[in-house]
Amino acid sequence: MPKGSEPGNDPQSLAMKRAQVEFHNFASLGDTEHAVPVYAGENRDRAWMLREHAEFIGPLTPFLEIGANAGHTSYMLTNEFGAGGFALDISADALRHGRALKQIWKLEREPVRIAGDAARLPFQTGSLRLVVACQMLSQFLDIDKVFLEVKRVLAPGGTFLFVEEPIRRLLSLRLYRCPYWKQMKWWERKLFEWGLLGYLVKDVIGARQEDSFGIRQNHRMTLNDWDRLVARHFSGRKYEISTADRGWGEHAIHRIARRLDRLNSEWLPSKLLGGSLAAACRKEGEPRPGSAPVTDLGAYLRCPDCEAALRQLTADSLCCETCGYEALREEGVFNVLPSAERRALYPGERPDTVDFSAPSHERHLLEGWYELEGAFGGKFRWMGPAASVWLNRVEAGPQRLRIRGHLHELSFAQEKTVKVELAVNGQTVANRTFDRPGLFVIQSDLIEDGEYRVEIRITPWFTAPPDQRPITANISMIRLVGRD
């Protein structure tokens, strides 16, 4: 069994896909002032890769970016490089929010935006010249299946460009998952600055946040594993390796390993210390000249249910004449997920979900909530020491309560821990203690009932003068999910 694959597992479970849809919705541009500079910095690094290996990569049109999130790299390709193509993500919401980048960056062009599954691409075989993947392959338990799909949709001689994928380091005790800088304790920050933290933690620093959210990640790939995977599917390859080299703790090992490497390259240092890999991978065959305009969707898209060609009826509608599948463009995004996934991941407004980014959430609120704040999918409400909502179940079968919130640093100013208690219909269903600020997700199985009154109790509370109201946490999502 090749690395990057797990027997008996889909590349992603439905629960993980649901978590990704939810995560990308609120994280893509929820903190716009922070996200936009980050996206600009990522685009600078990715543009360098495109220019550095331009001769090997070849023509950029038509391109497909998979796992595009807000689509910022696709916007760069269509504007800075003049390419034409598609931005695909499982989160239709993230793609919709991303259109704000066109206005913020004063761009003239935009990619065609498609909500779809990277492990079952809704594109015809051999229809694309370039496929781009940025920081997304490690979110699949079976990376090999994603490679197979990418190779299928690429035309002969086409290029697969993936960037910023983690390389598993050999020199680590793998004791625990560490959060991002803002959530680190003081001693973790010191070890991080000295270049020693990586020797203690497992996976990638920061992976704790996605893991707690329900996004299971595949960080088992060493540099040799990546190389074997690429060689199995592609005839040519160019690598750019970035080795972890922070502080004296990593710098010393990096320097020694570089000297010991027989080519004086980054190969041995990155095997020992980890880092990230970018690769341009060439599909076997000779490129074919010419391609249909990207606006001719019927020349590119295929039905995700039966794999027949999709026909474009109007500018905003697609259909499959074989099985009757239909997809509409809603707020600029075509949702071309398989029918079963689309129903499960995009059920619309319903009484078992309190999504604070949707206006309908207000009818679920009972006591304890303050005014609505935030932007795009990152809207939330602060709560006092206790707050409550009601939910009505929609689906049959065992139910699980899922709550997403955020704890502020001031929550830990009085005590070292924050306690969160969940009660449903008067019965306590969960007690959690947190020792770090930041995002939290709590899930708890529920007994069978038709209607649920959910109460959240949090201690301690704090004030933010001159506002004297007691504040505990902000909440952005409360919902029922099946126990899948």
Half-sphere exposure of 420 (CA within 13 A, CB side): 26
Quote the pLDDT of residue 10.
67
Out of 282, 317, 335, pick the residue that ends a domain.
282
The β-bridge partners of 151 are none
Any idea what the Cα angle at residue 343 is, between residues 341 and 346, rounded to 5°? 95
252 CB contacts (<8 Å, ≥6 apart)?
none
pLDDT confidence of residue 2: 54
User: Is residue 442 assigned to a domain?
Assistant: yes
pLDDT at position 204 is 86
Q: Could you give the C-alpha distances from 359 to 287, 348, 472, 481, in angstroms and in order? A: 50, 12, 23, 20
Q: Can you tell me the distance from the alpha carbon of 341 to that of 128, in angstroms, rounded to the nearest whole number?
A: 24
- Examine the domain organization and report whether 366 and 246 are in the same domain: no
If asked whether residues 273 and 363 sit together in one domain, one would say no
Q: What is the pLDDT of residue 205?
A: 85
Closest CA to 291 of 147, 123, 149: 123
Q: Which domain holds residue 424?
A: 353-482
Within a domain: residue 373?
yes
Tokens of 438: 């930041």
Instruction: Report the 3 state secondary structure along 23-46.
Output: HHHHHCCCCHHHHHHHHHHHHHHH
> How many other CB atoms are found less than 10 A from the CB of residue 184?
19
Given 250, 282, 314, which residue is the final one in a domain?
282
For residue 57, what is the enclosing H or E element? helix 54-57
Give yes or no: residues 276 and 375 share one domain: no
Fill in the amino acid letter for 239.
Y
Which residues are CB-neighbours of 264 under 8 A, at least 6 positions away? 258
Residue whose C-alpha is closest to residue 143's, from 232, 207, 56, 210: 232
Q: What is the pLDDT of residue 362?
A: 96
Q: Does 332 reside within a domain?
A: no
- Do both 259 and 358 map to the same domain? no
Coil vs helix vs strand at 70: coil
In a domain, 87, yes or no: yes
Q: What is the pTM of this model?
A: 0.92
**Does residue 84 sit within a domain?**
yes
459 and 375 within one domain: yes
Residue 448 belongs to domain with CATH number:
2.60.120.260
Half-sphere exposure of 242 (CA within 13 A, CB side): 11
pLDDT of residue 4: 55
Together in a domain, 264 and 389 = no
The per-residue pLDDT string of the chain (484 residues; one tens digit each, 9 = 90 and over) reads 455 554 445 678 888 898 899 999 988 998 999 999 999 999 999 999 999 999 999 999 999 999 999 999 999 999 999 999 999 999 999 999 999 999 999 999 999 999 999 999 999 999 999 999 999 999 999 999 999 999 999 999 999 999 999 999 999 999 998 888 888 999 999 999 999 999 999 888 888 778 878 888 899 999 999 999 999 999 999 999 999 999 999 999 999 999 999 999 999 999 999 999 999 999 999 888 878 999 999 999 999 999 999 999 999 999 999 999 999 999 999 999 999 999 989 988 899 999 999 999 999 999 999 999 999 999 999 999 999 999 999 988 899 999 999 999 999 998 999 999 999 999 999 999 999 999 999 999 999 898 999 999 999 999 999 999 999 999 999 999 887 6
- Find the distance separating the first CA and the last CA of the chain, reported in whole Å: 26
The answer to the question of residue 460 being in a domain is yes
Which residue, 258, 282, 306, sits at the end of a domain? 282
How does strand 154-167 pair with strand 128-134? parallel
Do the beta carbons of residue 265 and residue 145 sit within 8 Å?
no
Residue with tokens 């490129």: 287
Residue 291, domain member (yes or no) = no
Q: Quick one: pLDDT at residue 8?
A: 46
DSSP secondary structure letter of residue 309: B
- Say yes or no: 238 and 130 in one domain: yes
Residue 3 within a domain: no
- Are 267 and 403 contained in the same domain? no
For the domain that residue 258 is a member of, what is the CATH number?
3.40.50.150
Domain count within the chain: 2
User: In terms of domains, do 96 and 217 share one?
Assistant: yes
The verdict on 81 and 208 lying in the same domain is yes
366/256 same-domain check = no
Task: Give the 3-state secondary structure percentages of the chain, helix then strand then coil, rounded to 5.
Answer: 30, 30, 40
Token pair belonging to 212: 């707690």
Whole-number pLDDT of residue 7:
44
Same-domain pairing of 247 and 371? no
